[in-house]
Amino acid sequence: MPAGRHFLQIPGPSNVPDRVLRAMDFPTIDHRGPHFAELGRTVLDGMRWVFRTEGHVVIYPASGTGAWEAALVNTLSPGDTVLMYETGHFATLWKELAQRLGLTPVFIEGNWRGGADPDAIEAKLHEDTGHEIKAVCVVHNETSTGSVSPIAAIRKAIDAAGHPALLMVDTISSLGSLDYRHDAWGVDVTVSGSQKGLMLPPGLSFNAISDKALAASKTAELPKSYWAWDAMQSPNGKGYFPYTPATNLLYGLKEALAMLREEGLDNVFARHARHGAATRAAVRAWGLELLCQAPEQYSNVLTAVMTPEGHSADAFRAVTLENYDMSLGNGLSKVADRVFRIGHLGDFNDLMLCATLSGVEMGLRDAGVPHQAGGVQAAMAVLGPRGAEDRAAA
Ligand code: PLP
């Protein structure tokens, strides 16, 4: 084992804070006993707070993929048309999942270099005069490309088209890192996961559910059992679950929610924004190209960087892991070996970012990837001198 701490700078799972690790290191309690209910109620209320919803929240012992499936099987019927947008690899996986469930996705093609375009969505909905489209599904933060889709504008586009489709949003890599508002943005089902902005290990996933989506679930005909929202509702109301919950992950969730409350969500988002801006400054100084081409859609969760033609991103990542014990995210499917991804999310601070960027710069040097030195300096300039005011806000 190399000395020192491994740098886990993939865009999730993110670094699990020691506070969360310690909070999980307790005996598992009886999930039907009297002490469990307080834990159950606290984490369900806390998740409502993070989603910014007064509505319903469901917690599954599952990876994010489970919560994707839950959103679809609870609200839709066999053969239903769903409008999905190709922002990248994860949007494509969600579309394939929909196909396997017997839904009919209409996939708006994208070039993987930006977020979803509300105008293109509005145009498709206008064409759908018979209201065959039952749901619009968008990935908020596309983890494969580092692009963010404008969810509030997509809600407006659906309303402008006068279309009744449900709006479903994947926030698996944005919740707890980027501003997100389930109620204010009129989202019907929000999908999320534990292992990114929520700073937990993988293993929990979530649905936030509007009244309209809940009403749709009463008539939806896709088969469901494990994922059924209605089975959750009555036990959840008392702080319990219909099956054995992931009790120790819930201990961790309680602690992670406390950490987010202590810092304040707006400060958490501002911290991610500083780190995103500093990382992009480093990439520009290296003379490398960002995968995301739309500045207003840059992700503050991760930065996907293209290696120059003829230079393998995977070879660079392998050298960086070997020499500096740092894991960077790989390019997925269409951008395999052309892109590496720097995760700067979750429990992360200025010095962790500077160390991460130093590792990238040294890795580029060691792997012989053409670049200019000085990326770390450029990032430090963006981080700027911190005054007493900043420290007071932190
Ligand atoms: N959606 C997004 C945006 C993701 O980043 C991921 C995983 O990284 C998933 C869905 C799939 O989640 P999981 O791997 O937890 O099943």
Instruction: Tell me the per-residue pLDDT of 291-335, one tens digit each, with 9 for 90 and over.
Output: 999 999 999 999 999 999 999 999 999 999 999 999 999 999 999
Is pLDDT above 90 for 394? no
User: Which residue CA neighbors atom 9 of ligand 1 most closely?
Assistant: 64
| Tens-digit pLDDT profile for residues 263-292 | 999 999 999 999 999 999 999 999 999 999
Nearest to 7 by CA among 329, 223, 260: 329
What is the model's pLDDT at position 391?
53
Q: What's the average model confidence in pLDDT over 122-140?
A: 98
Q: Are 365 and 357 in contact (CB under 8 A)?
A: no
227 C-alpha vs ligand 1 centroid, how far in Å? 17
From 68, 94, 173, mutation site for ligand 1 pocket: most ligand atoms within 8 A of C-beta: 173
Q: What's the average model confidence in pLDDT over 382-387?
A: 85
Q: Are 111 and 91 in contact (CB under 8 A)?
A: no
Mapped to the 3 state alphabet, what secondary structure does the chain carry?
A: CCCCCCEEECCCCCCCCHHHHHHHCCCCCCCCCCCHHHHHHHHHHHHHHHHCCCCEEEEECCCHHHHHHHHHHHHCCCCCEEEEECCCHHHHHHHHHHHHCCCEEEEECCCCCCCCCHHHHHHHHHHCCCCCEEEEEEECEECCCCEECCHHHHHHHHHHCCCCCEEEEECCCCCCCCCCCCCCCCCCEEEEECCCCCCCCCCCEEEEECHHHHHHHHHCCCCCCCCCHHHHHHHHHCCCCCCCCCHHHHHHHHHHHHHHHHHCHHHHHHHHHHHHHHHHHHHHHHCCEECCCCHHHECCCEEEEECCCCCCHHHHHHHHHHHHCEEEEECCHHHCCCEEEEECCCCCCHHHHHHHHHHHHHHHHHHCCCCCCCHHHHHHHHHCCCCHHHHHHC
378 C-alpha vs ligand 1 centroid, how far in Å? 31
87 C-alpha vs ligand 1 centroid, how far in Å? 13
Q: What's the average model confidence in pLDDT over 166-195?
A: 98
Q: Are 142 and 339 in contact (CB under 8 A)?
A: no
Is pLDDT above 60 for 393? no
Output the six-digit token pair for 152. 């509030």
Percentage of the chain exceeding pLDDT 90:
97
Could you tell me if the CB of 171 is within 6 A of ligand 1?
A: no
Could you tell me if the CB of 170 is within 6 A of ligand 1?
A: yes
Q: Are 74 and 228 in contact (CB under 8 A)?
A: yes
Q: What's the average model confidence in pLDDT over 76-103?
A: 98
User: Within a 10 A sphere around the Cβ of 325, how many other Cβ atoms?
Assistant: 16
Output the six-digit token pair for 283. 């990439």
Confidence of residue 53 (pLDDT cuts 50, 70, 90): very high
Could you tell me if the CB of 330 is within 6 A of ligand 1?
A: no
What is the model's pLDDT at position 387?
63
**Burial tier of 288 (Cβ tally within 10 Å: 0-12, 13-18, 19+):** buried
Point out the ligand 1 atom lying closest to the alpha carbon of residue 174.
3
Could you tell me if the CB of 173 is within 6 A of ligand 1?
A: yes
What is the model's pLDDT at position 385?
86
Point out the ligand 1 atom lying closest to the alpha carbon of residue 139.
3
Q: Is the peptide bond before 13 cis (omega within 30 degrees of 0)?
A: yes
Mean pLDDT of all residues belonging to the chain: 97
Nearest to 200 by CA among 225, 179, 175: 175
User: Which residue CA neighbors atom 12 of ligand 1 most closely?
Assistant: 64
What is the model's pLDDT at position 392?
53
94 C-alpha vs ligand 1 centroid, how far in Å? 9
Q: What's the average model confidence in pLDDT over 77-105?
A: 98
User: Within a 10 A sphere around the Cβ of 359, how many other Cβ atoms?
Assistant: 22
Confidence of residue 386 (pLDDT cuts 50, 70, 90): confident
From 68, 90, 137, 299, mutation site for ligand 1 pocket: most ligand atoms within 8 A of C-beta: 90
What is the model's pLDDT at position 55?
96
Q: What's the average model confidence in pLDDT over 62-69?
A: 98
Confidence of residue 1 (pLDDT cuts 50, 70, 90): confident
Domains and CATH numbers, the chain: 7-13+264-393 (3.90.1150.10), 18-261 (3.40.640.10)
| Tens-digit pLDDT profile for residues 225-256 | 999 999 999 999 999 999 999 999 999 999 99
Could you tell me if the CB of 188 is within 6 A of ligand 1?
A: no
| CA dist., res. 196 & res. 15, Å (int) | 8
Q: What's the average model confidence in pLDDT over 27-36?
A: 97
Nearest to 141 by CA among 328, 327, 297, 340: 297
Nearest to 179 by CA among 152, 204, 207: 152
166 has which bridge partners?
A: 135
381 C-alpha vs ligand 1 centroid, how far in Å? 33
Confidence of residue 219 (pLDDT cuts 50, 70, 90): very high
12 C-alpha vs ligand 1 centroid, how far in Å? 9
Q: What's the average model confidence in pLDDT over 340-356?
A: 98
